[in-house]
Structure 1
Amino acid sequence: MLKRFIGTSTPDAGLLFARLAGAALLLWVHGLPKLLHWQQELAHIDDPLNMGRGITLACALFAEVVCPLLIAAGLFTRLACLPVLFLLGVSMVLVHPDWSVEQGQFGWLLLIVFGTIALAGAGRWSLDRRLAAV
């Protein structure tokens, strides 16, 4: 039964898993807390690019709420990975440059997951693939 579901293309199953798991983690750990506690986040968010705290938080919310939803659905997947990768890169390089690999492992792993998705695409089980077939 599993072989019939997965078929001969197991990379598609891996991409689906990476999309769903990575998006869920990013949304749950970073996006939803920022969305639910907007005022508290606004008071202490770092602004490494000097855009203003409000714009920085809005950009973070886009990358951590909207983009994970698009990635999970497999809609505009490669494009949706770009803001996530940019946010993670800025966070790891500019906001937390003093972190050791151990301290920043969650961020580095998310960079790996979303970088892989950006390079490989969404896979067969995605809205991107459905739209391309139309």
Structure 2
Amino acid sequence: MNGKSVSEPGAPLERDRHAVMRVWLRKLPERTLMVFIAHRVEGKAYAEIAAELGIGEWRVRWHMRKAIRHILKIGKPYRDAFAALDPVSQQIMELAWDGLPGDRIALRLGLTSHEVETRMAAALVALHKATTL
């Protein structure tokens, strides 16, 4: 990799993961997105969100269920593509997403850095194709 840990902002895998999430979330209706961000990102309670938006708590729950159903539905091709990866590529991607740099992944799995990078690139291409179709 480029020497950055994947957990650093701007690291390639972290940018890719955030880009995918932004695309998924942009497809939500505006109010549902506002509720989802307020609860999951900002950590606000349903009652607080309801008061801020002038809606009932039941409506906040409804928006959260809608957001989660949407994320599960659009995440299915991604999960299927991940499951289709060979076990070593799955391990590489999981370790990378946990913030382990490529050279440390190579050491942990007994692979060369080149093999880790090659498998990671192929996995990212497969995951990207699955999420853009």
Normalised TM-score (structure 1): 0.27
**Higher RCO, 1 or 2 (CA under 8 Å, sep at least 6)?**
1
Larger CA Rg, structure 1 vs 2: 2
Normalised TM-score (structure 2): 0.27
